[in-house]
Amino acid sequence: MEKVVSRFLRYVRIHTESDPSAPPGVLPSAAREFDLARLLVDELRELGLTDAHVDEHCYVYATLPATPGCGALPVIGLLAHMDTSPDLTGKDVNPQILHYDGGELVINRELGVVMDAEHFPELDRFLGEDLIFADGRTLLGADDKGGIAVILQALEDLIAAGTPHGTVKVAFTPDEEIGRGPLGFDIPGFGADFAYTLDGPAPNEYAYETFNAAQAQVTLTGLSVHPGSSKGLMKSALLMSMDFNALLPPLETPFHTDGREGFFHLLSLTGNVEETRMIYLIRDHDSARFAERKAVMEKAAEELRRRWGSDCIRLEITDQYPNMAKWLEDKPEIVALAVAAMRLAGVEDPVAVAIRGGTDGSQLTSKGLPCPNLPCGTQYAHGRYEFVSVQALTTCKEMVKHLVSADLVKRVMEENL
């Protein structure tokens, strides 16, 4: 069995589901994330990365020092997250490897977990490959233990082969799936010039664009009186909420949009006549259109005040994460290096995907650590259909080896001077 696969199978068996119900300041959200962190520290030390350690918030850091003569090369960071999504349990993951020759793939007959290319079109890309699944009861956790396995195996191979490289920094983080990954990340301590998260799907897809993201909290205040004698008196906060939503563009929702189209997403609506609260997600890749979306909301609030009085609505818009593209466009060598590494790993058609979401990298980039996202092969993450192919893991591992090898880094830096 390929070493990257046996590594991967070892990591997915460790339960590291993050816990969204943990109080906001608690990091990591679940103490079990330390179980994997400690194992990874041991394995990093076995590889000779003697400074490997895990801090009190469950961030694992380690350094692979530059080989002789390569100390002047940029310091490259490699990142992956240790937690798995709380969308489906990651306890007692029992992986299996199924060869895919087309047709039906039975993950679990008893539970009716069966896949075919008609319902899961991505499957078509993996004809003839060996796919690693869980057993239909849990998620697999290739998101993002695939990334961890790929990074560690690439380092092991690189060291064994004596390939020249600059300084490589490694970090494994907790709580990415609940949006807290960057919170405790020590960017100055990490000391990388730029980094890559290994947390993407198919081996030919990379990303340096994410949404710009904000959340809007809308609080509507009404006045309740007996409906039989309320003419001119009653103000229904529930009806106001419908008014508000009707003032937003009806075809700009997640249901109606894809690619680079942004949206408003009504995430929750709770209330009664006296008070109703709505939470919206605002998303757009384009910064100008993102600003316009916020303005549309402000205008809708203004209109409601005109209809129902100045105290009827409170609108609070909070930025969540920015599109990392605006930082990375100034440093084209970072993306160029990734694309060159993909090609050397045998990927013929690298393609940039604008992520319809965020990554840990979006926040790290905005805080000063440029950090595009590279693939680790995960498909259909966060559920029982999640899989990664043996071939994809191997390709991504080769990509990481090239990504930090002195030959390629020197060539790409010179080309982008």
Residue ranges of the binding site for Zn(2+): 81, 143, 177, 199, 382
Stretch that binds Zn ion, among 69-77, 138-146, 160-168, 282-290 (CB under 5 A): 138-146
- DSSP state letters, 29-42: SSTTHHHHHHHHHH
d(CA 277, CA 375): 39
Closer of 197 and 405 to Zn ion (Cβ): 197
β-pair type (212-221, 275-284): antiparallel
Binding mask 332-361 for Zn ion (x = CB under 5 A): ------------------------------
**CB 280, CB 265: distance < 8 Å:** yes
Q: Which one of 33, 43, 143, 360 is in contact with Zn ion (CB under 5 A)?
A: 143
Q: How many CB atoms lie within 10 A of CB 155?
A: 25
Closer of 145 and 165 to Zn ion (Cβ): 145
How many residues are given for the chain?
417
Annotated binding residues: 81, 143, 177, 199, 382
Stretch that binds Zn ion, among 71-79, 134-142, 193-201, 248-256 (CB under 5 A): 193-201
Minimal distance, residue 74 CB to Zn ion, in Å: 25
Minimal distance, residue 396 CB to Zn ion, in Å: 14
Q: What angle do CA 166, 167, 168 make, to 5 degrees?
A: 110
Q: How many residues bind Zn ion (CB under 5 A)?
A: 3
Closer of 143 and 156 to Zn ion (Cβ): 143
Closer of 43 and 144 to Zn ion (Cβ): 144
Q: Which residues of 23-59 are buried (b: 16+ CB within 10 A; e: fewer)?
A: eeeebbbbebbbebbeebbebbeebebeebebeebbb
d(CA 217, CA 318): 8
Binding mask 65-104 for Zn ion (x = CB under 5 A): ----------------------------------------
Subset of residues 196 to 215 that bind Zn ion, contact rule: CB under 5 A: 199
Cross-sheet strand order for the sheet of 212-221? 263-271, 275-284, 212-221, 313-321
Minimal distance, residue 415 CB to Zn ion, in Å: 31
Closer of 143 and 209 to Zn ion (Cβ): 143
- The tokens describing 379, both together, are 């498909």
Minimal distance, residue 192 CB to Zn ion, in Å: 19
Q: What angle do CA 71, 343, 44 make, to 5 degrees?
A: 45
Stretch that binds Zn ion, among 114-122, 191-199, 205-213, 237-245 (CB under 5 A): 191-199
- Known catalytic residue at 83: yes
Catalytic residue among 83, 156, 243, 284: 83
> Can you tell me whether residue 339 is helix, strand or coil?
helix
Minimal distance, residue 72 CB to Zn ion, in Å: 33
Closer of 90 and 166 to Zn ion (Cβ): 90
3-state secondary structure 154-209: HHHHHHHHCCCECCEEEEEECCHHHCCHHHHCCHHHHCCCEEEEEEECCCCEEEEE
Minimal distance, residue 272 CB to Zn ion, in Å: 38
Stretch that binds Zn ion, among 54-62, 142-150, 159-167, 313-321 (CB under 5 A): 142-150
Minimal distance, residue 138 CB to Zn ion, in Å: 16
- DSSP state letters, 54-73: E-TTS-EEEEEPPPTT-TTS
Stretch that binds Zn ion, among 2-10, 47-55, 136-144, 291-299 (CB under 5 A): 136-144
Nearest to 300 by CA among 221, 358, 242: 242
- The tokens describing 188, both together, are 């100055």
- Known catalytic residue at 316: no
Subset of residues 278 to 317 that bind Zn ion, contact rule: CB under 5 A: none
Subset of residues 359 to 378 that bind Zn ion, contact rule: CB under 5 A: none
> Can you tell me whether residue 216 is helix, strand or coil?
strand
Q: Which one of 144, 243, 252, 386 is in contact with Zn ion (CB under 5 A)?
A: 144
d(CA 416, CA 101): 43
Catalytic residue among 33, 43, 175, 176: 176
> Can you tell me whether residue 256 is helix, strand or coil?
helix
Closer of 143 and 205 to Zn ion (Cβ): 143
**Residue ranges binding Zn ion (CB under 5 A):** 143-144, 199
**Which residues are known to be catalytic?**
83, 176
